[in-house]
Amino acid sequence: MNTHIKSRVHLLGDNINTDTQCSSKYLPGKDNAYVAQHAFEKTAPDFAARFKAGEVIVAGKNFGINSSREQAVHIMRMMGVAAIVAQSFGRQFFRNCINNGLPVVECDISDIADGDEIAIDLAAGSVTVAARGIKRTVAALPPAVQSILAEGGLIAFLQKHPDWNAA
């Protein structure tokens, strides 16, 4: 996993429910590829058409609230979401991201706009939008969590470290 991410911002709002916006919980029989084509369209029309692999989602508070299907993270990985920066995350969603190798950064997002170029340094714990003079320090993830992310998620981590010992 790359600990330096530099890419374009796709801005979403507060309280995004990934079950209703990015899962098949209410679309029985639809596969991940179908849901990916319609992800977040209820809140950001044409999101899937505009989003390119390697780009970043920036969102407000409580991103991924509610029951939070792990499938949402599988779909975002399929879409190539490089990282999610949000004011805060739903507990379960945050966990699902770590478990599936999708970097998540909890950070003040004020003044960051759709289309901005954002730079994230996961190891040092910083979020930068140079064009706007924004440089914010964020708490680095605990080492145990970083090890899981570094392997691309918990399944890959356990295949390599079945005793949980990454040291």
Partner 1 sequence: MGYTMAEKILGAHAGGEPARAGDVVVANVDFSMIHDGRAANALKMVAKLGAKSLPSASKTAFVLDHYSPPPNIEAANTHKAMREFADAHGAVLYDVGDGICHQVMPEGGHLTCGDLIIGTDTHSVTYGAFNAFSTGVEGTDVTAVMATGKLWFRVPETIRIELKGALQPGVWAKDITLTMLGRLGAEGANYRALEYVGSAVSAMEIDDRMTLANHAAELGAKAAILEADAKTLAWLEAHGARPPRPVTADPDANYVDRIVIDASALVPQVARRHEIDDVVGVPEVQGQKINFALIGTCTNGRLDDIRQAAAILKGQRIAKGVRMIVTPASRQVYLAAAREGLLEVLTRAGASVEAAGCGTCVNITGHLITGDGDVAISSANRNFKGRLGNDKSEIWIASAATVAASALTGMITDPREVAGGKWTAGRAA
| Contacting positions for partner 1 (CB under 8 A) | 15, 26, 28-29, 62, 65-71, 88, 90-92, 95-96, 99-100, 142-145, 148, 153-155, 158-159, 162-164
The least CB distance from residue 62 to partner 1, in Å, is: 5
Using CA atoms in the order 149, 132, 110, 10, what is the torsion angle rounded to 10 degrees? -60
Torsions phi, psi for 6 (to 5 deg)? -135, 115
Query: With respect to partner 1, which residue has the nearer C-beta, 40 or 63?
Result: 63
**Shortest Å, Cβ 13 to partner 1:** 15
Q: Closer to partner 1 at the Cβ: 48 or 156?
A: 156
Would you say 36 and 60 are in contact if contact means Cβ atoms under 8 Å apart?
Answer: no
Strand partners, 85: 58, 105
The distance of closest approach from Cβ of residue 110 to partner 1 in the complex, given in angstroms and rounded to an integer, is: 19
d(CA 154, CA 102): 11
